[in-house]
Structure 1
Amino acid sequence: MDSTKCQDHEPSTKLLNPEGPTATIRPIDFTRSPLADDYSSFFAMTIDNLLTPDECARLQAAAGDNWQTLSKGNAFRECQNILVFSPEWASALYDRIVGHLPEEVKALRKGDRLAEIVVGPSHLKASVGARKTVWRIKEANDRLSFLRYQPGHHFKPHCDALYARPGKDERSFLTCQIYLNDAPLSADGKSDGGETRFWTSQVGKRQKPPAMECEPAEEKEAPFLDIKPKMGRALVFQQRMLWHSGQEVKRGEKFTVRLDLMFERHFEKLQPNS
């Protein structure tokens, strides 16, 4: 179990500038990728320049240097992390992120195609009379995971688990991964690893439920789509059934911070033609 906690963290007002940089939004269109057969309607996007280089440096420095080694299941995952539990940091990052998300993913309603894919049928079943389920984005979980990948470190293909807050009707449906430095490049300009790689679906190929974190499947010759680490870039993607890995870092270091974006369940009356 991860247990590192940063006790004396800086106020978020010192970490992020009041006015953020001009960001560039790019939806990931899986229909134009090698993964079209599996993920044509799945949600993922990148936000370039979510953070400035100075903000990335301040955030990383403020997290401290008490790195803990993570090693799971026969080298399934190897990296280092620092956990910071801070509602203030989470709120500041969430405020920067949420304005860049499309409206269709901020309120996931029963009957909507995107909701069926991101939330899943089991979380859309409940209703109160004529009022149907809608999951509304609320905030970022205050558990921030800072990650450092050094040469040889990696995270094999898996699906992120949906986090449920105890005693509350809240779930995480989106992961936000913010890259705090650029991917290292070799002398010939080629990548030295560290990409976040989306893999073809492993549903039907493994016995474990796809909505939970799963063991890796065979990677050989499987289709994939890479997202390269870039300082200040955020990668936001659905947790349910979207297989991905952290590719092995071959040289240098990769720094990221990971957040769960939380949704709260409400019930609303649907329009007659909904």
Structure 2
Amino acid sequence: MGSSSVAEDFLPPQAPSNATVRRINFLNTDPPIPQYKDYNAVVIDNLLTEEECNELLRIAEASTIKDTSGPPTWDRAMINTGGGGQALDTVQRHCGRIIFDSSELANKLLARLMPFLKEVGVDHIRNQPLVTGLEGRGRAYRLSQLNERLRFLKYEGGEFFRPHWDSNYLTPDEEEESFYTLHLYLNGDGEQDLEELLQASKKAETDPQGSDNIDVSGKLLGGATSFSASYGEGDGIVRVFPKTGLALVFQQYHLLHAGDPVFRGVKYTLRTDMMYREVAMT
């Protein structure tokens, strides 16, 4: 688990002037997912610059290098098994991961995020059992921090994360709990050629071993975060494609999503939890 200091002038609170925020209205997506009409997912475009994304990745990789001449080390990502346990399951989740603990960097990211989260009302939760679960009925919470455990993820050569729900993280003192996930995309060009994506998917299905030799230096193809109402594709899938500097914020409770296979290139993301503290109902 890496940990190191962050330059004081890195990642100032002010976002790029072209940053914008929008909610994902699952009634108006293509295709719509009416089951999620009252669920929360938010896209913040251009939250980070390309230079900031590159520096985040450099910081994470540098934390794994013990010999200055050696390459960075990406461990295999694990899945949660409950009770704080984790296990390796490459059938469900297949990608590289660097765990980087930094409250300093988490605070800088939150300062950048906060104006946009306030704009869409995600900085607080008030009697929203569809977000908190039934235990949050009649209760109020306010965003207090980002989990300092930052998880950098690397997908290449057909790697993926099968459909799942994110679990809530409760701090050891049980004073704060996560209700939203933050994904920051560190590379990618956004929307992709859907026909090319379909052909790559079909090829991978007929030749599963072929994905091992996909061009990792090419333009990113695949790797979207895909929302669906079920484990099959019968109800339709809504995809958010990786784009440099884009942030995706979504509730952890009952919002099924996946990390689509990467068929070409390499996908880099940063994932962490948004932590909330209970406050008085007003």
Q: TM-score, normalised by structure 1?
A: 0.80
Structure 1 residue 58: Cα displacement: 0.6
Q: Equivalent residue for 1:27?
A: 23
Find the aligned partners of 1:188 and 1:124 in 2 and give their Cα distance: 41
1:104 and 2:121 correspond:
yes
Residues 124 and 57 of structure 1: is their aligned pair in 2 closer, same or farther, counting only changes over 3 Å? same
Q: Residues 19 and 159 of structure 1: is their aligned pair in 2 closer, same or farther, counting only changes over 3 Å?
A: same
Answering whether residue 42 of structure 2 is matched by residue 45 of structure 1, we say: yes
Partner AA of 1:195 in structure 2:
A
1:85 to 79, 97, 101: 101
* Partner-residue secondary structure (3-state), 2:188: coil
Unmatched runs of 5 consecutive residues or more in structure 2: 62-71, 79-87, 198-220
Please state how far the C-alpha of 1:35 moved relative to its aligned partner: 4.2
Listed as ranges, the matches of 1:3-152 within 5 Å are 5-11=1-7, 13-17=8-12, 19-22=14-17, 23-33=19-29, 34-64=31-61, 65-70=72-77, 72-73=88-89, 75-101=91-117, 102=119, 104-110=121-127, 115-124=128-137, 133-152=139-158
Q: What is the distance in 2 between the residues matched to 1:53 and 1:74?
A: 30
Q: Distance in 2 between matches of 1:97 and 1:146?
A: 18
Name the counterpart of 1:209.
none
Distance 2:35 2:107 in 1: 34
User: C-alpha separation between the residues in 2 aligned to 1:52 and 1:88?
Assistant: 19
Query: Which shifted more, 188-197 or 88-97?
Result: 188-197
Count of matched residue pairs = 237
What's the CA shift for 1:32?
1.0
The answer for the alignment partner of 1:197 in structure 2 is 226
Distance of 1:261 and 1:81 partners within structure 2: 19
Cα deviation 1:33-72 (Å, max 9, x = unaligned)? 3343210011001101100000001111011122102364
Please give the root-mean-square deviation of Cα atoms over the aligned residues, in Å.
2.2
Q: How many angstroms apart in 2 are the aligned matches of 1:19 and 1:170?
A: 27
* Match runs of 1:159-170 below 5 Å: 159-170=165-176
Q: 1:62 to 1:97 in 2, by over 3 A?
A: same
In 2, Cα distance between equivalents of 1:267 and 1:164: 19
The corresponding residue for 2:215 is none
Secondary structure of the residue that 2:39 maps to in structure 1? coil
Q: Deviation per CA, 1:142-168, whole angstroms, max 9, x where unpaired? A: 000000001110000000001111113
TM-score where L is the length of structure 2: 0.78
Contact preservation (8 Å) 2:13, 2:108:
no
% identical equivalent positions: 34
Deviations 1:219-260 (A, max 9, x none): 243411000100000000001000000000001100000010
1:106/1:186 CA distance change after superposition, 3 Å: closer
1:230 to 243, 251, 255: 243
Residue by residue over 1:171-221, the C-alpha shift from the partner in whole angstroms, topping out at 9 and shown as x without a partner, is 101101000001599899944210000011x4xxxxxxxxxxxxxx3x243
Q: Confirm or deny: 8 A CA contact 2:97 2:154 kept in the other structure.
A: yes
Q: Which amino acid aligns with 2:258?
A: S
Local SS of the residue matching 1:138:
strand
